[in-house]
Each structure stands twice: as structure tokens, then as C-alpha cells.
Amino acid sequence: MKVKNFYFLIAGALAMLFAVTHAWNGQSAVLPKLDTEAISVDTQIVFTYVWHIITGENMVFGIAFIMMSFQTERSKIRFAAYLIAAILIVRLMVIVGATSMLDVSGITDTLIDSIAIVIYIALILLGTRLKKSSTMA
């Protein structure tokens, strides 16, 4: 099998990396902080599964983009790429919006995640713009 779209291959690899680092960061740094008596077990459960929903989404996106990078029929994969990009844009809006509503000074803490998401979206959009003759096969 030959790679037809290196942008999607890179986007897929990044998504898999994001999934691993997101799960790791959650398990090692974020979620243990919830293990206090001040937070109910039900709230801890909700935080844990909401955290890992993003991990799961990133894993699915990564698999999808890696598979799409080998596809020759671009019209069949363009919609999926735009849909994933739209989900990522909404994710970024939620991150920035929630942070600025709850603690506007914390917006700088979202800078690295925001930049990563913007680069990821840019790679996806570049991948949708490849012409048949300019595919990197």
C-alpha cells in the first residue's frame, strides 16, 4: 500500500499521539486530583469519563486519518475530514470559551493545546485540498 496523502498520515499520527498523551496526562496528573473527599464519587466518575471521551475521539480520528491517507478516492474521504475538522473547531471553542468564562487569566494555560489543535486542523484542511495530480504518492 502506498501513502496517497501525507497530510492525513501526519494528522493520523498526531491524533494517536494526542490520544496517548491525553490519557497519560489524565491518569498521572489531572484525575488523581479528583480523588478527594470533597468531590463525590459520582462527580469523579463523570470527570473521568468526560476526560477519556476526548482520548477515545483522538484515537478514532487517528485511525480514520491513517486509513484515509491510503485512499485514492478523495471525494469519499473529504466529507469525513471536514466533519472531523468541524468537531475539532467546536472542541477548541469549548476549551477557550469555558476557560475564559471561568477564569480568563487561565487562557494562557490553553495556549499549547490551542496551537496543537490549530496545526492539526490546518493539516486536515491541507489534506483536503490536494489535487489528484499533486498527491504525494
pLDDT surpasses 90 at 31? no
Q: What is the pLDDT of residue 73?
A: 82
What is the end-to-end Cα distance of the chain in Å, rounded? 10
User: Sorting pLDDT into bands at 50, 70 and 90, what band is 133?
Assistant: low
pLDDT in tens, 59-88: 999 999 999 999 988 777 899 999 999 999
Q: Which domain holds residue 26?
A: 6-134
Q: Which amino acid is at 77?
A: I
Residue 92 lies in a domain: yes
Mean pLDDT throughout 31-49?
A: 84
Residue 124 lies in a domain: yes
Number of domains in the chain: 1
Using alpha carbons only, how large is the chain's radius of gyration in Å? Answer: 17
Q: Is the pTM of this model over 0.85?
A: no
Residue 44 lies in a domain: yes
Residue 1 lies in a domain: no
Q: CA 119, CA 85: separation in Å to the nearest integer?
A: 11
Mean of the per-residue pLDDT values for the chain?
90
Q: CA 9, CA 14: separation in Å to the nearest integer?
A: 9
Q: What is the pLDDT of residue 88?
A: 95
Residue 82 lies in a domain: yes
